[in-house]
Amino acid sequence: MTGEVVAKIGPGLMVLLGIVDGDTKKDAEYIANKLTGLRIFPGEEENQEFHLSVKDIKGEILLVSQFTLAGNCQKGKRPSFSLAMNPGDALPLYEYTASLLEEEVPTKKGIFGAHMEVELINDGPVTLMIDSKK
């Protein structure tokens, strides 16, 4: 698959989604609601740095599964991924999250569980972590 473009978006959000053991549809609903409503884009006036949501700007979302976000690096020199949900259970939750996002904004997906080369132009940059448990 080298060189094949699977998904591409214009202005919007690239979301790296890490699904951990214990995550449920309720967590997916929280994440989708937060992502589509989070005011992180500038408004038209000078002092409106974090004023508009991805819905407000009519943006898009690129959703990429990223189990390595569940990595624990506290012990040793190699991360442990024991907190990550197994792929068979995580895939339906990933798809459910994508469907919720798609209800609100155009959403494209990477290939679940695949090794991908992901390019990003981070305008700002603004990088945030959203955790449904905190």
Give the type of residue at 5: V
Whether 68 is a known active-site residue: answer yes
> In terms of C-beta density within 10 A (0-12 exposed, 13-18 middle, 19 or more buried), how is residue 105 classed?
buried
Q: Which of 68, 97, 107, 127 is catalytic?
A: 68
Asked if residue 60 lies in contact with residue 9, where contact means CB atoms within 8 angstroms, the answer is yes
pLDDT digits (tens, 9 = 90+) for 72-131: 999 999 999 999 999 999 999 999 999 999 999 999 999 999 999 998 988 878 899 999
Q: Phi and psi for 92 in degrees, rounded to 5? A: -60, -35
Q: How far is CA 21 from CA 86, 100, 111, 120, in A?
A: 8, 20, 20, 28
Asked if residue 96 lies in contact with residue 107, where contact means CB atoms within 8 angstroms, the answer is no
Give the type of residue at 126: V
pTM for this prediction: 0.92
pLDDT digits (tens, 9 = 90+) for 5-52: 899 999 999 999 999 999 999 999 999 999 999 999 999 888 888 999
Q: How far is CA 134 from CA 69, 93, 129, in A?
A: 15, 19, 11
Q: Give all domains of the chain, ordered by start, each with its CATH number.
A: 12-109 (3.50.80.10)
